[in-house]
Amino acid sequence: NHPLSNSQRRDAEALLHPYANAVALRANGVQMIERGEGIRVYDETGKSYIEGLSGLWCAGLGFHNAELVETAREQMAKLPYYHLFTGKSHETAVELAEKIKELAPGRIARVFYQSSGSEANETQIKMAWYYNNALGRREKKKIISRVKAYHGTTIVSASLTGLPYNHLDFDLPVERIRHTSTPHFWKGAEPGETEAEFTARIVRDFEEMILAEGPDTVAAFIAEPIMGAGGVIVPPEGYFSAMAEVARKYDILMISDEVICGFGRTGQWFGAQTLGYDATSYSMAKQLTGSYLPLSAVGINEDMAEVIEKHTGEIGTFGHGYTYGGHPVGCAVGIKTLEIYHRIDAPGRVRALAPRFAAHLDRLAGHPLVGEARHTGLVGALELAPGKSPKGFATPGKLGPRLAQELLERGVIVRPIVDSIAFCPPMVITEEEIDELFAPVEAALDATEAWAKA
């Protein structure tokens, strides 16, 4: 314990932090981040860090893009706020929706806005319920998510999330939410099981769950293309096409949560394209505005749009919406962000950088402390494991945070997830900067190993 700085003390007196142990934070003091530039942020002492997780997997264009700043300023001056309620609309909301539709030809027919990823998934579930009510299928309401999924933190989105810290202490999940198996071969395979056999078993788990619940009671399956906050879990080849086929067989909507994977992160505009499936609807947030402003969107296909638009319901309206949904400044920044992604060819850039990124992770997988390296595009993770065993540590969640701390001291910010550390750098990173990002990892692993032995 060291004495807290003035700003750390003020923080402790003023803020309750998300997903934090307040007592530990108070004792150690938070790290105050003051400014950003390119892929780096600077703390209040002036020390610089490579932001290896783009903040929260979101600042795809880095931390000081002058065009986005100027766009926000101009829109603020022209129309700082308006809404889409009561028969009103505005140009930026329409134009951004058109641009999103262009990225997903034939997949997205209509766009609905919110401010966050959690709200986008909340909207998704309400839409799935509304859609089934419109079709007279009042019992078809259960949603199947997955163990280790992360879909947000509001009551329903936290219920969809398949992580214990979102449920315990909050009496969640709510009714009608189920969680099927995680497609993590390295961890989940039974002895002697091939990847194809594992995949078939996981898909069978899903189908058996549907049959046990009753197909007429299951409305939707929701999934992130690559599970992010659950540990960057890349599913085996063929997993998603098989899951989508099962969903189709029982007339179950397929919701793709693209909050992390959307807008180039995996090397295509949407993670669903990289993973080879078609969804009925898509959740988008984070990189939609480069995270310069909070904005999220749900894109639905033609069939859903038609059913929802034609349904007059009990009260004659689709009774759902947010004050800040489609905020003009957020939408203007979103339009500019997409323009920049097109200019730099964000998906192509990610595909070009991915081999360098992957090579570093694969090389580090040779370290005695690393059990598995996982990656797709510019998102990846290293999982620490004793003797490289997928069974993990007897006391989980100690070495991952320690490694993140060792890296922080060496000027790199990453995200510990139990005993994994996740990497998701801004998509504007260069090859040389990828080398810089990974340069201290080996020494940090050695230091973590020494710490564990001590």
* Span from 30-38, 150-158, 239-247, 372-380 in contact with ligand PLP (CB under 6 A): 150-158
Q: State the Cα–Cα distance between residues 20 and 233, nearest whole angstrom.
A: 23
**Binding window for ligand PLP (CB under 6 A); candidates: 28-36, 129-137, 149-157, 441-449:** 149-157
- Does position 56 interact with ligand PLP (CB under 6 A)? The reply is yes
Rg (CA), the chain: 22
Which residue has 């879990």 as its token pair?
233
116 binds ligand PLP (CB under 6 A): yes
Question: According to CB under 6 A, which one of 142, 151, 265, 374 is a site residue for ligand PLP?
Answer: 151
190 DSSP 8-state letter: P
Please give the structure tokens belonging to residue 78: 């022209």
Question: Cβ of residue 151: shortest distance to ligand PLP, in angstroms?
Answer: 5
Give the residue with the Cβ less far from ligand PLP, 199 or 283: 283
Residue 303 — left, alpha, or beta (φ > 0 → left; ψ -120 to 50 → alpha)?
A: alpha
Among 36, 152, 330, 371, interactor with ligand PLP by CB under 6 A: 152
DSSP code, position 265: T
Provide the mask over 274-293, with x wherever binding to ligand PLP is found by CB under 6 A and - wherever it is not: -----------x--------
The CA distance from 218 to 129, in Å, is 10
Could you say which residues in the range 26-45 bind ligand PLP, by CB under 6 A? Answer: none
Q: Per CB under 6 A, does 429 bind ligand PLP?
A: no
Segment lying near ligand PLP (by CB under 6 A), choices 7-15, 194-202, 257-265, 339-347: 257-265
What is the rounded distance in angstroms from the CA atom of residue 74 to the CA atom of residue 68?
A: 10
Tell me the site size for ligand PLP, rule CB under 6 A: 16
Binding window for ligand PLP (CB under 6 A); candidates: 73-81, 182-190, 221-229, 236-244: 221-229
Tally Cβ neighbours within 10 Å of residue 323.
9
Measured CA angle at 236 (ends 421, 144), to 5 deg:
85
379 binds ligand PLP (CB under 6 A): no
How far is C-alpha 35 from the geometric centre of its chain's CA atoms? 24
Closest contact distance (angstroms) between CB of 322 and ligand PLP is 12
**Part in contact with ligand PLP (CB under 6 A); list of ranges 146-154, 308-316, 364-372, 407-415:** 146-154
Alpha-helical (H) ranges within 168-279 are 185-188, 195-213, 239-249, 271-275
Q: Which of 93, 202, 209, 259 binds ligand PLP (CB under 6 A)?
A: 259
Question: Which residue in 423, 448, 449, 447 sits closest to 437, CA to CA?
Answer: 423
Q: Supply the minimum distance, in Å, between the C-beta of residue 115 and ligand PLP.
A: 8
Cβ proximity to ligand PLP: between 11 and 257 the closer is 257
| Minimum CB distance to ligand PLP smaller for 114 or for 199 | 114
Determine if 206 is a binding residue for ligand PLP (CB under 6 A): no
**Contact positions with ligand PLP (CB under 6 A) in 382-421:** none
* 162 within 8 A of 145, measured Cβ to Cβ: yes
Helix (H, G, I), strand (E, B) or coil at 248: helix
Least distance to ligand PLP from the beta carbon of 251, Å?
Answer: 25
User: Is residue 260 involved in binding ligand PLP (CB under 6 A)?
Assistant: yes
Q: Does residue number 150 form part of the binding site for ligand PLP (CB under 6 A)?
A: yes
Contacts of 208 by beta carbon, 8 Å cutoff, 6+ apart: none
Query: Residue 221 in contact with residue 125, Cβ under 8 Å?
Result: no
| Helix H or strand E encompassing 376 | strand 370-376
Q: What are phi and psi of 124, to 5 degrees?
A: -55, -45
The residue from 11, 224, 406, 419 that contacts ligand PLP (CB under 6 A) is 224
* φ and ψ of 144, to 5 deg: -105, 120
Give 222 or 385: the residue with its C-beta nearer to ligand PLP.
222
Residues that bind ligand PLP (CB under 6 A): 56, 116-118, 121, 150-153, 224, 228-229, 257, 259-260, 285
